[in-house]
Each structure stands twice: as structure tokens, then as C-alpha cells.
Amino acid sequence: MADMLSSMFNRYTPITSFCPSLSGIEKHVIKWLCETVGYSNTTDSGGILVSGGSTANFMSVLCSRHIKLKEPENYHKGLVYCSDQTHHSFLRGCYLGGIPKKNIRLLSTSIQSNFDIDFIELERQIAKDIESNAGMPFLLVCNVGTTNTGKIERVEEYIRIAKKYDLWLHADGCYGCCFTLLNDYKLKYFQHMGEFDSIAVDPHKGFFIGYGLGAFLIKKWKDEWTTFSFRTDDIAYYPSSSEHTDNLLSDKLLSDMFDMGIENSKDYKALKLWLPLQIVGVKTFQNYLEEKLSLSDYLLEKLKKIEHLEVISNSLTITNFRYFNSKGSSMEELNKINKELLLNFNSNGKVVISQTYLRDNGCETLMYVCRICILCVRTHQEQIDELIKNIRASVEFITKKYFL
């Protein structure tokens, strides 16, 4: 409905003074998101609505390189630090932002480390890079809810290290930051989000909004403005909506969104979130999140009881498992068996699950696991029961085929 209304209005909103009402709603939505994820200083913080997390992650690279590396001549020297659980969109963003692949320091994680990086190793790597003049360390990423396992990384450690080495600290909270709507999660995981220089969050994930709504949020909106605003005397431009203030940067409310990102004309996204907030309210979002979390707990308990099924991880609403048989199968053999299990499962035509690879320490070959992420607004108890029934059937199929 929001998309339909936006298309019907079909208003040009990147310049505030051309459409103050819709532009105002957009800024209100951004302010709400900033407050929700933990930027308590809503005067300084800001951001922009984008099509999804990939763009938001890309924008973090563009802002951080502009603020920390300063001159374009330095971009290829920029060094980035993140865990090997980082979403590929961020790595692509680095590459598109002129950071060579060899400059990305991927720190390894494993099932045994509970998907935490080794922070001593991270500091050692940064210090070594500085000492050997390998480049310019500038950007550190903390995954606040990874795609693979739902892991919320150790935020406070990242904050400490970013401060110590003066790095831009970005949070990929595309999936995980939505859980900040729940008070007990906010207290446990999201207390320090205000310390991040930028945050990517996807309302089209955990806020159950239709696809096409991500957000890039930033601690100091002026950093975003100086990165993207390209007003110059050499090129004709629209007068800024805040020009009468004599200071382009003096009033965020009068700023123009085309100064805050990559695009100019674009679809109007704010209604997608603003309307549900007005119509059903935040409580409905919270209820859905709580439902998905308790379905995830329910699933975990059921999976634990299935013979030959090993739960590898369970965090937020993501659960990974694999078929396991103690009859001495190697990792390669088990991976093959688990691929077959997934194929068998997904051919049921009713419920589809995904897969990923995780590191099992001491084993060169990565572990193939089946992955379930419960985040669809239409997934309820009935679908989970169907899922469990089908998993049982596929596990039996594998046992009969290989182990009886």
C-alpha cells in the first residue's frame, strides 16, 4: 500500500523545499531509526533511506574513506578489518570504493570460538600494519547479527579497538539491529550502539517491511553531508533548501537528501515504514519479533531431540544444523551427505531451507550446514511443525541410505 501511495503521489523529494511534507516525514523516519538503534544524540545523528543493506554498507565505505583517508590518492592504501563472517556486500562495497582486496584483513572465526574473532590477533595485525607501513588502517566492521549464524559480535571490544587506533567503526546491523526494538535485547546487546560511526540496518528484514527499505545511519550527519554533497560553483545546482540560513550545515531539517547519498531522483521510501508505525504501531513489530524468537527456541528444542542431527549454532532467529553419524565419516563425506539431505528436504515442495559453510577448528575443509532463518511475517507455528516433520523424514532417508 505504501508503495502504491508513493507512486500515486509521485513527488520529487530530494530537495526539501520542493516537497516539505514528504521530506519531513522522511527525516522523521530517519530520526526514529536513529533513536531506535541507539543514537541518543538525534541532533548530530542522521542518515538516509536506501534500497537495502548492500547500499548502506557501501555508503559506510564511502564515508569512512572520505573522513579518515581524506585524499583520493590515499584510497588504495586504506586497510579494512573485519571477521570472516562479514556479509559479502560489505566486501564488495570496499572493492567498489577503491580498496584493493589485498587490503581487507579478514579475521577468522570458528564454531569453537563461538564465531568471535581473536581480538588479540586483531590488535596484533593492526600494530603490524602500522609498523611495517603496509597501508593506512581506517575502517573496522562489527557484525551485529551475522547472516550465517545470527551472532552479535562483541561490540565493546570493537569500540575499544576502534578508539585506540582511530578507526571508523561501522556496524553491519542489517539483520540484528532490528531486535533492538525488544527491551531485554536492547539492554543485553545494544547499549553501546551510539558509539558506532555508522550503522546499516534493514527494516525490510526484522521490521517485516516489504523489500526495498534499508537505512544508512550515521553518528554525525555532517560527515555524510561532506562526503556526498557536491555543490560547487563550477556546476549549476539547485539552491540549497537551507540557503537562507547562510550556512548549509546549520539545519539538518532543512538539508536536502540529495546531498546525503549517491542518488538524486528515486522512489519515495519513507511511507513503507511510517505508515505501519502509524497504523499498527511499534508494538506489532515487537510482537512479531517475539513470535519469531520463540519459534526459533521451539525449533531448537525439537531439533535437539532428533537422532543423528547435530545443532551447530542457534542465535537470534538463525539455527544451523547438520546430519552427524559417529561411524567415523570424514568432513568431506559428511558434507556430501548433508548436501544430499538438503536436496532431499527441499524437494518436498513446501518448506525450503538454506545452507552455509562454517569453520570447524582443526579441520581444513569447511563444514557444510543446513541453515534456518525464521524472519518471514507469515512463518508461524504451523510452518515450523511442517519444517520439523520434513527434517525428520530427510534425516531418516539419509540414515537408511548410508548407515543401515
Ligand X SMILES: Cc1ncc(COP(=O)(O)O)c(C=O)c1O
By the criterion CB under 6 A, which residues form the site for ligand X? 52-54, 57, 87, 89, 147, 172, 174-175, 202, 214
3-state secondary structure of 268: coil
SS3 sequence, 240-251?
Answer: CCCHHHCCCCCC
CA–CA separation, 52 vs 55, rounded Å? Answer: 6
Task: Identify any residues that bridge with 355 across adjacent strands, giving them in sequence order.
Answer: 370
- 344 or 354: whose CB is closer to ligand X? 354
Residue 77 has what DSSP assignment? Answer: G
Residue that is written with C-alpha cell 513503507 in the block: 272
When the beta carbons of 174 and 312 are compared against ligand X, the nearer one is 174
Contact in structure between 217 and 47 (CB atoms under 8 Å): yes
User: Distance of CA 138 to CAs 51, 90, 132, Å?
Assistant: 26, 15, 16
Minimum CB distance to ligand X smaller for 149 or for 390: 149
Question: 68: closest CA among 172, 148, 139?
Answer: 139
Identify residue 349 by its one-letter amino acid code. G
Nearer to ligand X, 52 or 97 (CB): 52
Q: What is the largest CA-CA distance in the chain?
A: 81
| Nearer of residues 67 and 82 to ligand X, judged by Cβ | 82
Min dist CB 250 to ligand X, Å, is 33
What is residue 403's DSSP assignment? I
Say if residues 187 and 214 touch (Cβ distance below 8 Å): no
Check: CB of residue 21 under 8 Å from CB of residue 268.
no
Judged by DSSP in three states, 234 sits in coil
Q: Indicate the residue among 48 and 309 with the shorter CB distance to ligand X.
A: 48
To the nearest whole angstrom, how small is the minimum distance from the Cβ of residue 171 to ligand X? 10
